[in-house]
Amino acid sequence: MRGLPIRGRNMRKTLCGSTAPSTTSRAQQHPMNPHRQLDVTFARSQFPAFAEPSLEGYAHFENAGGSYPCAPVVQRLHDYYRRLKVQPYYAYPASTEAGEWMDASHVRLAEYLGVTAEEVHFGPSTSQNTYVLAQALRQLLKPGDQIIVTNQDHEANSGAWRRLTREGVVVREWCVDPASGELQIAQLDALLTDRTRLLVMPHASNVVAHINPIAEAAAKARAAGAIVVVDGVAWAPHGLPDVPSLGADVYLFSLYKTYGPHQGLMVVHRDLIEHLGNEGHYFNAYDPRKRLIPAGADHAQVAAAQGIAEYFDALDAHHGGKSASGRAQRVRELLRSAELALLSELLDYLATQKSVRLLGPAKASQRAATVSFVTKVAPPEQIAARLAQHKIMAGHGHFYAKRLVEALGVDAASGVVRLSFVHYTSREEVGALLAALDAVLA
């Protein structure tokens, strides 16, 4: 694996690191262009769920479990099922158009991720994608080779890799700080050796939400000759990253948490894919798009996924974006800056609650808009049920980050309360959440 032609990519830092603006007053402003603040009314007008009578009055704070899908995705799914639900890529019109839609999803999402269309792979879920990827990577590993996993990850980016011990691979664990839940970069230095072949880590945790310094960790791992696999599921909804600038060889996330259909997307660097095992049918090995998707593509969902890019296009145009150049960066900054002010409000509020233990960083700049806590007042399930009575949709449990919850000294059987939001969350909804928390935590 050492010496694979996957070196020397652009390592420029992005806003998606821990360098984003932090304070409440500045957070409402666009970090580079103070005139570009999210028009949240416009954003919400692009989501059918906000016009759905049965959801009226409910504030969605379980976005880390699944976001609302945007209108272009819903429309394309509907149209595909009505008009194009035939085998794609044949010469008759419905089939040709179906194939064109699928290809367009590769192209359009690749644009927002800074990669090529061939590097984009759609699978049933991130759990399935990491599972297949681990099988495909297995052939590059020899007994005694070392891989580094974390205990901050969702199990999707953990178990599949840890099971490689069956092949004689040595698993080394990068452990979180038990008080803060953070992965400290100094510890990575101690884990990297000349036998390290792989580093797998999350861009952000789905529980403590700390934004990990991926570019720095990836640079260290790559310098040691390792491949870097990043689970971006808990980060991507807050702004699709420019993947090359992160230095990851593989970047995975889930479209159903990112305003799209129930699919997983993985970016696999073009120089890596040919070294991986072919996990698809043998006669399809020549086609990079089929090598890592043994389940076969869900045609309609792949076809509809381009709707996410169309939504981002509309958002950018509404906020004055005039060309495709720089659009991806403008959109990620727009999403992030919209969340930061509200995130600070929620964190400031929780800091005043003596019964609450916040998990993860207290500073908005260091985390995604996912906020987990435990409280002496009642178990998480009861807190979430009481919040539901106030029409607040919240989650509870360990969210498949069981190792992390345990490392934090929290009983995984009851887990944590999780409140997660995205750019379309309104100030009024956060106000309703704080009022509900006041009642529930009293």
Ligand X SMILES: Cc1ncc(COP(=O)(O)O)c(C=O)c1O
Summarize as ranges the residues that interact with ligand X (CB under 6 A): 125-127, 154, 156-157, 202, 206, 231, 233-234, 254, 264
Question: How far is Cα 102 from Cα 299, in angstroms, rounded to an integer?
Answer: 7
Question: How far is Cα 173 from Cα 259, in angstroms, rounded to an integer?
Answer: 33
Shortest distance (Å) from residue 157 CB to ligand X: 6
Considering beta carbons, is residue 74 or 401 the nearer one to ligand X? 401
Shortest distance (Å) from residue 264 CB to ligand X: 5
Considering beta carbons, is residue 206 or 278 the nearer one to ligand X? 206
Shortest distance (Å) from residue 180 CB to ligand X: 18
Shortest distance (Å) from residue 294 CB to ligand X: 16
Could you count the other beta carbons within 10 Å of the beta carbon of residue 10? 10
Positive or negative: CA dihedral 212, 215, 220, 224: positive
Shortest distance (Å) from residue 405 CB to ligand X: 13
Q: What's the CA dihedral at 377, 380, 385, 391 to 10 degrees?
A: 90
Considering beta carbons, is residue 16 or 432 the nearer one to ligand X? 16
Considering beta carbons, is residue 136 or 234 the nearer one to ligand X? 234
Asked if residue 336 lies in contact with residue 238, where contact means CB atoms within 8 angstroms, the answer is: yes
Q: Residue holding tokens 């644009």?
A: 111
Considering beta carbons, is residue 231 or 333 the nearer one to ligand X? 231
The terminus-to-terminus CA distance of the chain in angstroms comes to 56
Considering beta carbons, is residue 21 or 415 the nearer one to ligand X? 415
Shortest distance (Å) from residue 415 CB to ligand X: 13
Considering beta carbons, is residue 105 or 126 the nearer one to ligand X? 126
User: Furthest-apart CA pair in the chain: how many Å?
Assistant: 66
Shortest distance (Å) from residue 233 CB to ligand X: 3
Positive or negative: CA dihedral 54, 55, 56, 58: positive
Written as one string, the DSSP assignment of 396-426 is EE-TT-HHHHHHTT--TTT-EEEEE--TT--
Written as one string, the DSSP assignment of 213-245 is -HHHHHHHHHHTT-EEEEE-TTTGGG----HHH
Shortest distance (Å) from residue 153 CB to ligand X: 7
Asked if residue 67 lies in contact with residue 297, where contact means CB atoms within 8 angstroms, the answer is: no
Task: Please compute, for residue 184, the number of CA atoms within 13 A of its CA located in the half-sphere on the CB side.
Answer: 8
Considering beta carbons, is residue 264 or 380 the nearer one to ligand X? 264
